[in-house]
Chains A and B, each alone.
Chain A
């Protein structure tokens, strides 16, 4: 046993796992995160899947990554750069070194660095031997060899041994961060219940990694990330896509309307469809349509029939759904359209995140075609906004577009589990059987919504369709004045939703030198950056928008109280264009990034400093 190592306390730490697709990086990352959660840390994780399904072994294209950011403070992002990188092969090292802090720790499986693999990764010399990594604390662990040694005597095949290498690295990390092995051991026991020898092997390898880390000189100190102060309650780790799916299930239960999903698989939204195929016990009907158009059209049919109808997609699919969204606006039927945004235009960079569908969501339809647009801002609050999207759609009888993005859809964070009964009530405006006053386009005086009259109900037979309808009576009508009236009514109905959504919040003082404006999935990075500025005593506040159309009623007021406004978004300036249109009286600065990557907190604070210094 080596001498007692120094313990250093950290506020937060970012660990990145990278290896071949088959190396178990996602699992290692998840187990590491679960252990941190059990120890009371707040955390945010983000998987970095390769675009190819099974790219050749040891190539950059085949590298799969997983980043976890955990801390004793509240964590809002998956972390800018990693403090610790675990790289399972040369390709993983090569493609991830740029995401690692200078001076950070790199753990590599030295056994994976043979000549062929080094060459395949595109290195001209062995990075473990040349000086290229001298700015890092490099730990060259012969993981392959030790993994084999630790299972000596067990009857186990080579392939399974190779597969348990990730446990060795995990053991090392547990030592480095003073973690218990227990939760992971329990996971192994459960997962491989059917094969005691695999259980034994994995546990031995895990323990061997832990002990190995204790003995080596390269680890001279260990780290402690104390528990975060969080609201008491039951938590779970949840991705944005799963949270979205569950939000719909909750809205279905609470509203009493059966869930119908019509969707076509598309990255990065597919997981919502897959998730919802599992809950037939809640009568959730998830229909895999023949294309995007059938997805939304079937949802419109289901909505007419009385289901809580949803369709999910990503940018290119939203384009295909445009015409049908117009039909939903015209027929004034409630549907929720989820757009998990990805890099565009066209197929773009499908596995990377972006916020460039905003204008399409707001305006991408023929005719005057208003609908509600919401944007979720964290993996966990996808639940809340999915739920609210359903509530607003049904109560106001209108389509709602819910924008999320690849980053929050695949990212995961700790979520305090709510009780469904404590969520806001949902009261769909159902028409009553044989109501002699029923008229298809007779409207609620306050909200302007029409009633929802379901097929199968006596005395309410009526037709809807894409042709303009006569106000109140709903007959096909081409009267000029009626068309203008209907266009105005549809617009006003959506405008009035502003009376049912909360005021825009400001994080920080209500006036000051700089108002940072952002929306949707950039919340974590922008909030972290703004808090850093505030800590430094700067008069910077944040207005982060979730309600996009209509905007909260106090938006103008919020914008009016700052010397400067900067709008930060992952596109070339779409929300700023919208704000300039809605509130032309203010001057806006902009900060945009369009690389398929989230903002880095450091680049945001840099920009804010420049703006404060008058540059």
Chain B
């Protein structure tokens, strides 16, 4: 992320803290997401009145009330659609969506895939706690197979979505994964998302202390976290582990974990991360891997460069303005076949 630099502004975190009481449960992962974003907003180089935060429904979606920006708390699943209207209406605004796994991938699944496909310059933070919090504990589209929840007393019989796969399958140009207990990484990723031209989705692995506590414990154990987390850096080899002695190599068509120094494996054999690669093959594999055989990939997995919807739209508008025979609506009303009576 070397080409991304902070922009100096007079703004501070305090400019974005709202006067509303934050009503999430104590210990909820959402708190750290909020504070990370409040830290990032002053540094992006956008005026405070140019931010719009949009959400749908769910624990995550109270977000706009807690940020002192323009904001819309929408209806269930529709944040992406509302944000689309905001961005098209005024492309100069910096538009952020806060959403959850249910809000974006169950009730809002249609809007979710289409906003990615269109590549509007909108940033989406998906709080993935793999459960429905606000309705008190039903399974979500990311709940692991077999989980016992309020609405699956005998265990779920549905395969979950992996958000990264869905993003890439929807032609998404940016996908990053963060975890709520690593605010430093999360802040970096929010920053990277802000600088990406196009729809940027950050999946935040978020703990729900009430209904799905320790849901992400496997990928963030108290000790030796580094052994199960691969933190990706563009242009750097995919090395992880407490002793930085493990890495990913490509064997045939599969990723494999190799240990440096074993079987003649050197750093040169390890895959180097290229987040800008248009071909999503490796990105897709990185989005999928998880313990026990692999680490989980965190960081920017994909940041491919494609034109944005609004840039193409503005281009069409300026072309039309240059070539049109209509200067005003009166010209249109009087065009074509008319009859003088």
Give A residues with C-beta under 8 Å from B: 34, 37-38, 40, 230-237, 246, 249-250, 253, 258, 260, 262, 279-283, 285, 287, 289-291, 293-294, 297-307, 309, 323-324, 326-327, 331, 414, 417-421, 454-467, 475-476
User: A613 CB to closest chain B CB, in angstroms?
Assistant: 41
Cβ-closest chain B residue relative to A418: B333
Contact stretch, chosen from B29-37, B47-55, B137-145, B259-267: B47-55
A246-B93 in contact (CB<8A):
no
A258-B324 in contact (CB<8A):
no
Contacts of A419 in B (CB 8 A): 330
B338-A234 in contact (CB<8A):
yes
Contacts of B339 in A (CB 8 A): 37-38, 234-236, 414
Known contacts A246-B332, A463-B73; 8 further A-B pairs (Cβ under 8 A): A233-B341, A281-B321, A287-B85, A287-B88, A455-B90, A455-B93, A460-B49, A463-B64
Task: Map CB proximity to A onto B313-333 as digits: 1 under 8 Å, 0 otherwise.
Answer: 100110111001010111011
Q: Is B28 interfacial (CB-CB < 8 Å)?
A: no
Q: B85, B324, B329: which has the most chain A beta carbons within 10 Å?
A: B85
- Pick 21 A–B contacts, CB within 8 A, sort by A: A232-B341, A234-B338, A235-B340, A236-B333, A253-B328, A260-B89, A287-B85, A290-B110, A297-B78, A298-B81, A300-B82, A302-B88, A305-B89, A307-B90, A309-B89, A455-B86, A455-B93, A456-B49, A460-B70, A463-B71, A464-B71
Question: How far is B283's CA from A498's CA once the two chains are assembled, in angstroms?
Answer: 59
Question: How far is B74's CA from A323's CA once the two chains are assembled, in angstroms?
Answer: 10
Question: How far is B71's CA from A34's CA once the two chains are assembled, in angstroms?
Answer: 52
User: B237 CB to closest chain A CB, in angstroms?
Assistant: 40
Question: How far is B49's CA from A304's CA once the two chains are assembled, in angstroms?
Answer: 14
Q: Is B13 interfacial (CB-CB < 8 Å)?
A: no
A455-B320 in contact (CB<8A):
no
Contact pick for A290, options B20, B89, B111, CB 8 Å: B111
Q: Is B218 interfacial (CB-CB < 8 Å)?
A: no
Contacts of A460 in B (CB 8 A): 49, 70
Q: Is B337 interfacial (CB-CB < 8 Å)?
A: yes
A324-B75 in contact (CB<8A):
yes
Chain B stretch 205-221: residues in CB contact (< 8 A) with chain A: none
Chain B stretch 72-113: residues in CB contact (< 8 A) with chain A: 72-75, 78, 81-90, 92-93, 110-111
Give B residues with C-beta under 8 Å from A: 20, 47-52, 54, 57, 64-65, 68-75, 78, 81-90, 92-93, 110-111, 114, 313, 316-317, 319-321, 324, 326, 328-330, 332-334, 336-341
Cβ-closest chain A residue relative to B324: A281
B78-A293 in contact (CB<8A):
yes
Cβ-closest chain B residue relative to A294: B81
Contacts of B88 in A (CB 8 A): 260, 285, 287, 298, 302
Question: How far is B313's CA from A420's CA once the two chains are assembled, in angstroms?
Answer: 27
Question: How far is B332's CA from A303's CA once the two chains are assembled, in angstroms?
Answer: 25
A476-B69 in contact (CB<8A):
no
User: B25 CB to closest chain A CB, in angstroms?
Assistant: 17
Contacts of A414 in B (CB 8 A): 339
Contact pick for A235, options B57, B319, B341, CB 8 Å: B341
Given contacts A461-B69, A465-B73, are A305 and B20 in contact (CB under 8 A)?
no
Contact pick for B93, options A40, A305, A463, CB 8 Å: A305
Question: How far is B339's CA from A34's CA once the two chains are assembled, in angstroms?
Answer: 9
B52-A455 in contact (CB<8A):
yes
Question: How far is B56's CA from A588's CA once the two chains are assembled, in angstroms?
Answer: 46
Contacts of A230 in B (CB 8 A): 341
Contacts of A466 in B (CB 8 A): 57, 73-75
Cβ-closest chain B residue relative to A309: B85
User: B168 CB to closest chain A CB, in angstroms?
Assistant: 19
Cβ-closest chain A residue relative to B50: A456
Q: B64, B317, B324: which has the most chain A beta carbons within 10 Å?
A: B317
User: B118 CB to closest chain A CB, in angstroms?
Assistant: 9
User: A415 CB to closest chain B CB, in angstroms?
Assistant: 9
Contact pick for B49, options A249, A262, A459, A475, CB 8 Å: A459
A327-B84 in contact (CB<8A):
no
Contacts of B54 in A (CB 8 A): 301
A420-B20 in contact (CB<8A):
no
Cβ-closest chain A residue relative to B113: A290
Contacts of A237 in B (CB 8 A): 337
Question: How far is B81's CA from A323's CA once the two chains are assembled, in angstroms?
Answer: 14
B333-A297 in contact (CB<8A):
no
Contacts of A298 in B (CB 8 A): 81-82, 84-85, 88
Contacts of A285 in B (CB 8 A): 88-89, 313, 317
Question: How far is B89's CA from A456's CA once the two chains are assembled, in angstroms?
Answer: 12
User: B303 CB to closest chain A CB, in angstroms?
Assistant: 24
User: A217 CB to closest chain B CB, in angstroms?
Assistant: 35
User: A456 CB to closest chain B CB, in angstroms?
Assistant: 6
Given contacts A299-B85, A305-B93, A461-B49, are A281 and B326 in contact (CB under 8 A)?
yes
Contacts of A231 in B (CB 8 A): 341
Contact pick for A34, options B57, B87, B89, B337, CB 8 Å: B337
Question: How far is B317's CA from A331's CA once the two chains are assembled, in angstroms?
Answer: 30
Question: How far is B111's CA from A464's CA once the two chains are assembled, in angstroms?
Answer: 21
Question: How far is B91's CA from A260's CA once the two chains are assembled, in angstroms?
Answer: 13
Contacts of B90 in A (CB 8 A): 305-307, 454-456
User: A307 CB to closest chain B CB, in angstroms?
Assistant: 4
